Amino acid sequence: DAGVIQSPRHEVTEMGQEVTLRCKPISGHNSLFWYRQTMMRGLELLIYFNNNVPIDDSGMPEDRFSAKMPNASFSTLKIQPSEPRDSAVYFCASSPTPTPGGEQFFGPGTRLTVL
């Protein structure tokens, strides 16, 4: 298995631009998670999906952030408009358990820099 796949691995953009991060979970996994990692705040859960349905988005910073999971094999995290404070590493993870709490498998991350 290829594991969780994220693209792009690196993204540099200018303030105000739209950014779309992509994730392909491990086949057969029911749950998908988006995290953000910064030096200041550590690892934060932004949103998670169970069977393609968003369950908890309380970690999404503000309306500029949105996430979708149109099918079991693909999810996107969009930031519009982007701001310099959004610069971070964004991780996608998936889990084979029906509900979160089981082991999660992480992708390599997308390093986002907003100038």
Partner 1 sequence: AQSVTQLDSHVSVSEGTPVLLRCNYSSSYSPSLFWYVQHPNKGLQLLLKYTSAATLVKGINGFEAEFKKSETSFHLTKPSAHMSDAAEYFCVVSDRNAGNMLTFGGGTRLMVKP
- List of residues contacting partner 1 (CB under 8 A): 4, 42-43, 45, 56, 91, 93, 99-109, 111
- Given the complex with partner 1, which of 12 and 15 has the nearer CB atom? 12
Nearest one of 58, 59, 4 to 31, comparing CA atoms = 4
- Given the complex with partner 1, which of 4 and 77 has the nearer CB atom? 4
Q: Considering the complex, what minimum distance in angstroms separates the CB of residue 55 from partner 1?
A: 9
Q: Considering the complex, what minimum distance in angstroms separates the CB of residue 109 from partner 1?
A: 5
| Beta strand spans in the chain (E) | 5-7, 10-13, 19-24, 31-38, 42-50, 53-56, 65-71, 74-79, 88-95, 105-106, 110-114
Q: Considering the complex, what minimum distance in angstroms separates the CB of residue 65 from partner 1?
A: 18
